[in-house]
Amino acid sequence: MSPSICTSSVPAEAAPAPAAGPALNGHSAAADGTGPSTSGRAATSPVDWSKVRLGVDPAPTMFVANWSAESCCWDGGQLVPYGPLQLLPAAQVLNYGQSIFEGMKAYRQPADAPTPSTATATAQAAPAPAPAPAPAPAQAESTSAQNGDQQHHQDEHQDQHEHQQQPHHRVLLFRPEANAARFEAGAARMCMPPVPPEMFLAAVHAVVRANADWVPPSCRGSLYVRPLLLGTGPLLGLCPAPSYTFVVYAVPVGGRAKEGRLAALDFLIHDSLHRAAPRGVGSTKAAGNYSPCLVAQAQARQQGCTDCIYLDARSDTYLEEGSGCNVFAAHGRVLTTPPAAGSILPGITRASLLQLAGALGYEVREANISVDDAMAADEMFASGTAMVVQPIGSITYKGRRVQFAAGSSSCSSAAAAPAVAPAPAATANGAASSSSDAEGDADTPSTSRSSSSCASGSSSLDAAGGLLSYGYSTGVVSLTEAQRRALEAAAPEPEAGSLPAGVGPVAQRLYGLLTGIQYGRVADPFGWAVPVDMSGPTEGELHLDRLLPVVEEEEEAEAAEEEEVGAEGGADGSTAAPVTKAAAAAGGAAAKRSSKAHAVFADPNLE
């Protein structure tokens, strides 16, 4: 499906859009699949993990598919060696930034994971460190890290041996259908031809399957999968690209936590820059949303912090999100996160944590968090695909710094979070101090809002609220009492004083539970963990266009023809009316398809 203005807006002198395939040894991959190709398993099995730079070295195989205005559809795509894409300087994405992306992970299930015992559990999870690119370790940890180098290498060799023994079907994806829905919604918002979820999921499974040996050993890391949609066709003028490229590649990444123990980071609440504005694209995973955050991050580091939290652009009063993460504040057993209502990305990890917290008995709210509310919190943390759960050790706002969870203990208070209240000089578990004391020692159920509050977009309007729904929500999930008890047993309340400074009990419990489900050692009553399909091809053409629904244009034409024949029996014998009806029928069908691709986002804050 093409953007309706695509064919009419492309200048006549624009060069024909070449397929943006990967360049292989200086040559582009053959469109018919005859070019050089290999699979990850054939090229790199077994992987020597002692030589792999986690978070740097890409897996050897990627997926590429192309869309053109001439065909108005996606080709079948192919698995090719990871390599450069051929782009002209006039490519739309290079000049006007028409690009979206996703981030997701594949996890290797440990060999000793129990098999599913119920239909609701699609996988079991692992007690494990968070699979995410790890920042530089804190200086306080450097000595212990050096002392453990020898043991680390021994563990690495053992992990490599176990990795080679594990069958390829023991690889899980976490909620890939949610990424597919968000990707489709983002394309509609950016006036790009959506990648149908069937094609998205098949491409992701194919890339993980082809690079199965590049999924790190269980509990040591994960395979980060990055789908991209790029406006690669050349043009000079602000309009949709004449052609697009859908790419999926992967990079193995390491775990953030050591032995499941998290480390807190310090955040700055930025008071002069905004990440997104109402009615903008803050709820879309557009590439252009992220680089503008770099200057804010640099300013945060100058004040001894690792990252920053942005305030809402309307009032400069309420927390929105970090540079690439959602944020949470806990007041006793009340967990609050800002509502994803147009300017905040509805994170998939965010949605999962809200549902897990509800299952653990916390009161969950999607509501505004003022700066005063944040400074009065017992603990704060961030969430995202890369970081999973990141405890926030302190926040700094206009020179005032508040620390959280100093000498953490289990919070049992049932007090509700304040609406808007002045922050005291010291929080329940921490104390305020000046910004000069900030330390940058290291480097995202009942609800007060309905599940539609996290909706931001898809290819069709939500009939109830006028929002575009991603197809996943933060609403309460119905679990049996046995399932709830199992989740609570897998994430018990931490003992008083057992957590590192800055790490609160809510963050620790949710981190352990979510990573447990992701790795397959905790029973998954939600059906989030999806086994990777290992039965398909690992190189060459995939013919994914055969998965896509075909518009029944022939049936539409036949129906119009029948109307024309029926109208020919008119008294004056005129054929003008049937011709008009046929044109209207064809035009109406085209308009319907076009409107589906061009649905716009609505912001409930402004409705």
At residue 558, the pLDDT reads 64
In a domain, 176, yes or no: no
d(CA 12, CA 417): 59
- Out of 97-101, 252-256, 449-453, which region has the weakest mean confidence (pLDDT)? 449-453
- pLDDT at site 296: 95
What does the alpha-carbon distance between residue 150 and residue 147 come to, in Å, rounded to a whole number?
7
The DSSP code for 521 is S
Q: Is the same domain home to 251 and 270?
A: no
Final residue of a domain: which of 497, 513, 547?
Answer: 547
Looking at the predicted structure, is the pLDDT value of residue 586 above 50? Answer: no
Compute the average pLDDT of residues 310-316.
94
Quote the domain boundaries for residue 224.
6-98+190-255+535-547
Within-domain flag for 177: no
Taking CA atoms, 535 is separated from 64, 202, 205, 218, in Å, by: 20, 12, 10, 21
Q: Does residue 125 carry a pLDDT above 60?
A: no
Q: Note whether 242 and 293 are same-domain residues.
A: no
194 and 72 in a common domain: yes
Rounded percentage of the chain residues whose pLDDT exceeds 90:
55
Boundary-marking domain end, from 547, 580, 602: 547
Residue 97 has pLDDT above 80, yes or no: yes
Does 566 map to a domain? Answer: no
Mean pLDDT of the chain: 74
454, 479: one domain: yes
- What is the distance between the alpha carbons of residues 115 and 128, in angstroms, rounded to a whole number? 18
Residue 364 has pLDDT above 90, yes or no: yes
pLDDT for the residue 241: 97
Residue 164 has pLDDT above 60, yes or no: no
State how far the alpha carbon of 423 is from the alpha carbons of 377, 428, 593, in Å: 9, 11, 52
% pLDDT > 70, the chain: 61
141 within a domain of the structure (yes/no): no
Higher pLDDT, 561 or 397: 397
Contacts of 353 (CB under 8 A, 6+ apart): 328, 383, 389, 510, 514
Let me know: does 137 contact 145? Beta carbons within 8 Å.
yes
**Contact (CB, 8 A) for 303 and 268:** yes
Q: Which residues are catalytic?
A: 285
Domain count, the chain: 2
Is 162 a residue whose pLDDT tops 80?
no
Q: How confident is the model at residue 349 (pLDDT cuts 50, 70, 90)?
A: very high
Angle at 323 between CA 319 and CA 326, to 5 degrees: 55
Distance CA 321, CA 308 (A): 9
Task: Please count the other Cβ atoms lying within 10 Å of the Cβ belonging to residue 172.
Answer: 30
Greater confidence (258 vs 108) lies with: 108
- Is residue 504's pLDDT more than 50? yes
Per residue in 558-572, pLDDT tens?
A: 666 666 655 555 444
- Strands 307-311 and 265-270 come out as parallel
What's residue 549's pLDDT? 66
Task: Give yes or no for residue 273 having a pLDDT over 60.
Answer: yes
- pLDDT of 167: 46
Closest CA to 124 of 491, 515, 484, 481: 515
Are 221 and 347 members of one domain? no
CA dist., res. 347 & res. 366, Å (int):
13
Q: Is the pLDDT of residue 262 over 50?
A: yes
Alpha-carbon distance of 337 to 604, in angstroms, equals: 17
- Annotate 525-569 with three-state secondary structure: CCCCEEECCCCCCCCEECCHHHHCCCCCHHHHHHHHHHHHHHHCC
**Residue indicated by tokens 């690439």:** 324
356 shares its domain with 335: yes
**CATH code of the domain containing 236:** 3.30.470.10
Q: How confident is the model at residue 477 (pLDDT cuts 50, 70, 90)?
A: confident
Secondary structure of 98-165 in HEC code, one letter for each residue? CEEECCEEEEECCCCCCCCCCCCCCCCCCCCCCECCCCCCCHHHHHHHHHCHHHHHHHHHHHHHHHHH
Q: Which has the minimum average pLDDT: 154-158, 401-405, 535-539?
A: 154-158
Answer yes or no: is pLDDT of 308 > 70: yes
Of 19-33, 66-80, 242-256, where does mean pLDDT reach its minimum?
Answer: 19-33
213 pLDDT higher than 90: yes
pLDDT tier at 110, thresholds 50, 70, 90: confident
309, 362: one domain: yes
Which domain CATH number covers 270? 3.20.10.10
Q: Which long-range contacts link 50-55 to residues 24+ away (Cβ below 8 Å)?
A: 50/153, 50/156, 50/157, 50/160, 52/252, 54/133, 54/216, 54/221, 54/252, 54/253, 54/254, 55/133, 55/134, 55/224, 55/251, 55/252, 55/253, 55/254
Per-residue pLDDT for 143 more than 90?
Answer: no
Packing angle, helices 348-359 and 481-490, rounded to 10:
110
Q: Which of 472, 488, 523 is the last residue of a domain?
A: 523
Residues 416 and 367: their CA atoms lie apart, in Å, by 12
**Considering the domain boundaries, does residue 469 fall inside one?**
yes
The torsion angles phi and psi of 157, rounded to 5 degrees, stand at: -65, -40
When pLDDT is averaged across residues 329-335 and rounded to a whole number, the result is 97
**Same domain, yes or no: 233 and 364:** no
State the pLDDT at residue 244: 98
Greater confidence (366 vs 465) lies with 366
Question: Lowest-pLDDT range, 47-51, 70-74, 100-104, 321-325?
Answer: 47-51
**pLDDT(311) > 50:** yes
Q: How confident is the model at residue 472 (pLDDT cuts 50, 70, 90)?
A: low
DSSP assignment of 77-103: -EEEES-PBP--TTBHHHHT--EEE--
User: Are 277 and 231 in a shared domain?
Assistant: no
Domain assignment present for 140: no
- Of 465, 448, 470, 474, nearest to 605 by C-alpha is 465
The values of phi and psi at residue 322, to 5°, are -85, -170
Residue 136, domain member (yes or no): no
Classify residue 105: in a domain, yes or no.
no
> At residue 523, does pLDDT exceed 70?
yes
* Residues 280, 211 share a domain: no
| Whether the predicted pLDDT of 338 surpasses 60 | yes
Q: Three-state DSSP class for 336?
A: strand
Strands (E), 231-274: 243-254, 265-270
pLDDT above 70 for 180: yes
Question: Residue 234: pLDDT above 80?
Answer: yes
Predicted confidence (pLDDT) at residue 322 exceeds the cutoff of 60: yes
Q: Residue 588: what pLDDT?
A: 44
Cα–Cα distances in Å, from 595 out to 243, 592, 600? Answer: 20, 5, 9
What tens digit of pLDDT does each residue of 402-443 get?
A: 999 875 444 444 444 555 333 333 333 333 333 333 333 333
pLDDT for residue 481 is more than 80: yes
Q: Dihedral (C-alpha) 304, 307, 313, 317: value to the nearest 10 degrees?
A: -60
Identify the band that residue 547 occupies on the pLDDT scale cut at 50, 70 and 90.
confident
By the 8 A CB rule, do 270 and 36 touch?
Answer: no
Could you tell me if 197 and 241 lie in one domain? yes
What pLDDT, in 10s, does the model give residues 192-204? 999 999 999 999 9
Residue 111 is predicted with a pLDDT of 75
310 and 452 both lie in a single domain: yes
pLDDT of residue 261: 80
